[in-house]
């Protein structure tokens, strides 16, 4: 298309679009980023006592074969009964035959050149624990590292956590040939697995009756603090997760920083805070098989019942490589999302589909509002720089109707070099448009098919260009 700007505004049932210049007094960014700084500054780090126990002092062998889980559990228990402390993993490779369950005031620290390699035998992650799977509450295989209703927990150090997931163990459960599944094999799409879980959600079956685990083929997350307060994940490298990598759920005061997340399996989202409040994600690297960062708040009935939005989230100075989306809100966002800030991030890969994305549908419901993005540098993305989709695939009970509200999306200083679309916006219908999209000082270049905007109102563009021409 060369430098031609193709604005696909006249589409079937297109809502009216109002574009206008804002005035200096109406600039929404001044107060917003002050608020982001205040949120980040007020997040409390875990309070860990100055006590250290090395797992090698309790019998752990760094031979990559001997099960070190008993030594790790003894170290955690010993620290806990003394009021807390650091469980130290010295340099070396350790095999862990099952999940690590953290307790309050415990820091699991991996020294430089330390690696924990986790078993890929599903039976090692039983008995089941209280968890959320794709936004639905249930009892399922334990995450590889898990904490439930704990305070002041941390995973730190420059070592590596390796889930060892690949096409020979966890990943074929995804029902995808790409990841090793073959026709006739049982997997998460089987009627006893994902469909059953979604049906329990629709019928609001009590969570205690939603027992999964063996025979259900629903993969565990790698790290899940569930209903925890003051959580820190700092500097570790995390590889080859069965599914979502870092999944704080129903937790508060969460910091993820300097982490390297490399996992190209199915549903290998990098960091998915769900129904959390006061979250800081900074200085991280994401190279994933799904969304790099996805902010969530529960699926359908479970999200509405809990009524816990994902809110007060600050993302800064992160690098996104491969993945379905860079910073994403949804699709399990029935509890809502608000006060989301992302700045100084770099996104660039032909295998990254979208840079900034909101995905939901008429079953999810929820209100997504007050999203602020600035100084985002986007090299190449496959589809769109900004993607808002209120028609994301449903997958479960199509007879419900909870049409979502999406409003107040602000972008400043977003630059991109290559994409199919600049803005790809799909509101629900004329009565339920996306409301309020504000672009200031944005430069969207190398856009081959312009913008495609359906059912949106109150668009404001200031000093923003698409392929060199004013938006």
pLDDT in tens, 298-345: 999 999 999 999 999 999 999 999 889 999 999 999 999 999 999 999
In this prediction, what percent of the chain has a pLDDT beyond 90? 90
Rg, C-alpha atoms of the chain: 22
Q: Cα–Cα–Cα angle for 186, 189, 194, nearest 5°?
A: 115
Q: Is the peptide bond before 331 cis (omega within 30 degrees of 0)?
A: yes
Question: Whole-angstrom distance between the N-terminal and C-terminal Cα of the chain?
Answer: 17
Contact, 304 vs 334, CB < 8 A? yes
Band of the pLDDT at 7, cuts 50, 70, 90? very low
Give the per-residue pLDDT at 21: 44
More confident residue, 16 or 307: 307
Quick check: is 18 catalytic?
A: no
Domains, the chain: 7-470 (2.160.20.10)
SS (H, E, C) 389-417: ECCCCCCCCCCCCCCCEEEEEEEECCEEE
pLDDT at 282 over 70: yes
Catalytic residue among 290, 302, 348, 353: 290
pLDDT in tens, 257-278: 999 999 999 999 999 999 999 9
pLDDT at 186 over 80: yes
Give the per-residue pLDDT at 323: 85
CA gap 141, 133 in Å, rounded: 10
Catalytic residue among 109, 247, 264, 324: 324
* For range 84-88, the mean pLDDT: 98
pLDDT at 188 over 80: yes
Give the per-residue pLDDT at 16: 37
Q: What's the whole-model pTM score?
A: 0.94
* For range 18-45, the mean pLDDT: 78
Quick check: is 269 catalytic?
A: no
pLDDT at 200 over 80: yes
CA gap 252, 257 in Å, rounded: 16
Average the pLDDT over each of 18-32, 115-129, 274-288, 311-325 and give the range with the smallest value. Answer: 18-32
Residue position matching structure tokens 């399990």: 332
Contacts of 269 (CB under 8 A, 6+ apart): 243, 244, 245, 247, 288, 290, 291, 292, 293, 294
Give the per-residue pLDDT at 1: 39
- CA-based nearest residue to 359, from 386, 377, 323, 399: 386
Contacts of 438 (CB under 8 A, 6+ apart): 22, 28, 409, 410, 411, 459, 460, 462
CA gap 177, 199 in Å, rounded: 25
Give the per-residue pLDDT at 12: 30
Give the per-residue pLDDT at 322: 86
Contact, 412 vs 440, CB < 8 A? yes
Q: Is the dihedral of CA 45, 48, 49, 51 positive or negative?
A: negative
* DSSP sequence for 283-305: S-EEEESS-SEEEB-B-HHHHHH
Give the per-residue pLDDT at 139: 98
Interstrand relation of 129-133 and 136-140 (parallel, antiparallel or unpaired): antiparallel
pLDDT at 396 over 90: no
pLDDT at 11 over 80: no
* For range 367-371, the mean pLDDT: 98
Q: 3-class DSSP state for residue 187?
A: coil
44, 263, 267, 401 from 293: Cα distances, Å: 21, 13, 12, 27
Give the per-residue pLDDT at 62: 98
Give the per-residue pLDDT at 26: 60
* For range 292-303, the mean pLDDT: 98
């Amino acid at each position: 298309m060369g430098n031609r700007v193709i604005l696909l505004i006249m589409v079937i049932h297109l809502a009216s679009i109002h574009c206008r210049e804002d005035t200096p007094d109406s600039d929404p960014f001044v107060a917003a980023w002050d608020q982001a700084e205040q949120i980040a500054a007020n997040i409390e780090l875990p309070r860990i006592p100055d006590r250290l126990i090395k797992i090698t002092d309790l019998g752990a062998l760094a031979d990559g074969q001997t099960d070190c889980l008993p030594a790790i559990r003894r170290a955690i228990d010993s620290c806990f009964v003394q009021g807390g402390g650091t469980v130290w993993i010295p340099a070396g490779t350790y095999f862990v035959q099952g999940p690590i369950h953290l307790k309050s005031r415990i820091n699991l620290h991996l020294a430089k050149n330390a690696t924990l390699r986790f078993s890929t035998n599903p039976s090692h992650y039983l008995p089941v624990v209280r968890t959320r799977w794709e936004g639905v509450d249930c009892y399922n295989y334990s995450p590889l590292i898990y904490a439930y209703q704990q305070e002041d927990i941390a995973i730190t150090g420059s070592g590596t956590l390796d889930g060892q997931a690949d096409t020979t163990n966890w990943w074929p459960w995804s029902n995808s040939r790409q990841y090793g599944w073959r026709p006739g094999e049982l997997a998460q799409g089987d009627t006893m697995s994902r469909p059953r879980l979604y049906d329990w959600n629709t019928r609001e079956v009590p969570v205690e009756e939603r027992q999964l685990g063996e025979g259900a083929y629903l993969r565990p997350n790698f790290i899940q603090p569930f209903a925890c307060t003051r959580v820190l994940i700092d500097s570790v490298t995390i590889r080859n997760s069965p599914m979502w990598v870092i999944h704080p759920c129903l937790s508060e005061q969460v910091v993820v920083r300097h982490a390297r997340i490399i996992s190209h399996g199915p549903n290998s989202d990098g960091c998915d805070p769900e129904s959390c409040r006061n979250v800081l994600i900074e200085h991280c690297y994401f190279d994933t098989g799904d969304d790099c960062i996805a902010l969530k708040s529960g699926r359908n009935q479970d999200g509405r019942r809990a009524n816990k939005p994902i809110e007060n989230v600050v993302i800064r100075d992160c690098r996104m490589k491969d993945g379905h989306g860079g910073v994403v809100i949804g699709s399990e966002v029935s509890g809502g999302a608000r006060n989301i800030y992302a700045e100084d991030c770099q996104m660039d890969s032909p295998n990254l589909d979208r840079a900034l994305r909101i995905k939901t549908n008429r079953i999810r419901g929820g209100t997504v509002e007050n999203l602020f993005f600035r100084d985002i540098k986007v090299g190449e993305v496959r589809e769109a720089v900004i993607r808002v989709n209120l028609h994301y695939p449903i997958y479960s009970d199509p007879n419900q109707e909870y049409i979502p509200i999406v409003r107040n999306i602000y972008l400043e200083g977003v630059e991109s070099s290559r994409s199919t679309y600049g803005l790809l916006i799909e509101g629900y219908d004329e009565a339920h448009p996306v409301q309020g999209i504000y672009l200031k000082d944005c430069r969207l270049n190398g856009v081959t098919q312009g913008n495609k905007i359906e059912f949106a109102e109150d668009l404001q563009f200031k000093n923003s260009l698409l392929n060199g021409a004013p938006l």
